[in-house]
Amino acid sequence: MTARDEHALEMDFAVGRHDFAAAGEVASRVKQVLRQLGIASDLVRRAAVATYEAEMNLVIHSNGGKVVLRVDSERIVVEACDLGPGIPDIELAMREGYSTASDEVREMGFGAGMGLPNMRRCSDSFKIDSSVGRGTTVTTVIYIAEPGS
């Protein structure tokens, strides 16, 4: 995002560990904001799905964190950052069906091991940075316009 882009927007949403009651609220807000900005509905949908999965990952797996939404004229960026515990094996975490969620969480229909793959499918660019003991940042980018166009 560039400083000269006067349409740039940045919003932060805190997400608490195991806060299942509030789960989905960040995604709902993101969807609402993007709609108000007049973003095309298929892009809004992809961003909402990616945000929901990011939010659920924070609720289920993290020690708490936040989701940051950044929008400018070129792209939508959804970034989820947490305070740990970190992902020891990212390749394994990306495998569809693999999950470290507890039985209790799985009974609610979460922990199917599809969250990160869903996020990747919804994004034009997708990145995970993780350090065990420190935390994880998952970045999803959805292009509104072709880069540089």
Q: Which residues bind another protein (CB under 8 A)?
A: 20-21, 23-25, 27-28, 31, 45, 48-49, 52-53, 56, 108-110, 112-115, 117-118, 121
Instruction: Tell me which residue has tokens 């350090």.
Output: 131
CB of 23 to another protein, least distance (A): 5
- Shortest spacing between CB 70 and another protein, in angstroms: 20
Minimal distance in Å, beta carbon 48 to another protein?
5
Terminal C-alpha separation, the chain: 15
Q: Which is nearer to another protein, 27 or 77 (CB)?
A: 27
Nearer to another protein (CB atom), residue 86 or residue 115: 115
Residue 34 CA to residue 112 CA, distance in Å, equals 28
- Work out how close the CB of 88 gets to another protein at its nearest, in angstroms, rounded to a whole number: 21
Closer to another protein by CB, 74 or 138: give it: 138
Say if residues 101 and 90 touch (Cβ distance below 8 Å): no
Q: Is 13 exposed, middle or buried (0-12, 13-18, 19+ CB in 10 A)?
A: buried
Indicate the residue among 61 and 74 with the shorter CB distance to another protein: 61
- Greatest C-alpha distance within the chain: 49
For another protein, the closer CB: 65 or 115: 115
Q: What is the DSSP string of 72-107?
A: -SSEEEEEEEE-S---S-HHHHTSTT-----HHHHH
- State the minimum distance, in angstroms, from the CB of residue 28 to another protein: 7
